Amino acid sequence: MKEHELRSPEGARRPRKRVGRGTASGSGKTSGRGTKGQKSRSGGAKAPYFEGGQLPLVRRMPFKRGFVNIFKVPYSVVNVADLGRFAPGTKVTPELLAATGLIKSLKAPVKVLGEGALERALEVHAHSFSGSAQAKIEAAGGSAVLVEEMKE
């Protein structure tokens, strides 16, 4: 069979129904719309969320408002106080943090925040550091090393 030999099945293509052409046609006068009401008028039914003048559900929901930043980076957060569990001189990497359960997965980049105190000299590798975290790590005699961005 070739493309030019294709035909629609018998009865599949029907002529369009012409409405409003007199009562004898069976769909004259009100043209199959019934009598009165919103759907009988020109302009017909309103948008799918129109609820007859009641405040629509989409406008009643508070979570529909606001702004969502599509460029926000979701970090796995670790505080400086949490790093106190490692022995002095340890090289703390995202892999070690995941193995010890301080972060849930390695899919999100790791950020170290400055909550708490640190007394041990550690070599901390992370994707980002807050200013106070970096200052506390270096004050304890350690170093804060930035890891290159994650490859997805």
Domain span holding position 128: 76-146
- Looking at per-residue pLDDT, the higher value among 69 and 65 belongs to 69
Query: Could you give the 3-state DSSP secondary structure of residue 10?
Result: coil
Q: Is residue 27 part of a domain?
A: no
Q: Is residue 142 part of a domain?
A: yes
Q: How far apart (Å, rounded) are the C-alpha atoms in residues 37 and 1?
A: 52
The identity of residue 131, as a single letter, is: G
What single DSSP character describes residue 107?
S
Determine the average pLDDT of the residues in 73-90. 93
Q: How far apart (Å, rounded) are the C-alpha atoms in residues 27 and 44?
A: 18
Domain of residue 104, CATH code: 3.100.10.10
Q: Is residue 134 part of a domain?
A: yes
Residue-wise pLDDT tens digits, 84-100: 999 999 999 999 999 99
Q: How far apart (Å, rounded) are the C-alpha atoms in residues 47 and 59?
A: 14
Q: Is residue 82 part of a domain?
A: yes
| Count of domains observed in the chain | 1
Residue-wise pLDDT tens digits, 109-139: 999 999 999 999 999 999 999 999 999 999 9
Q: Is residue 66 part of a domain?
A: no
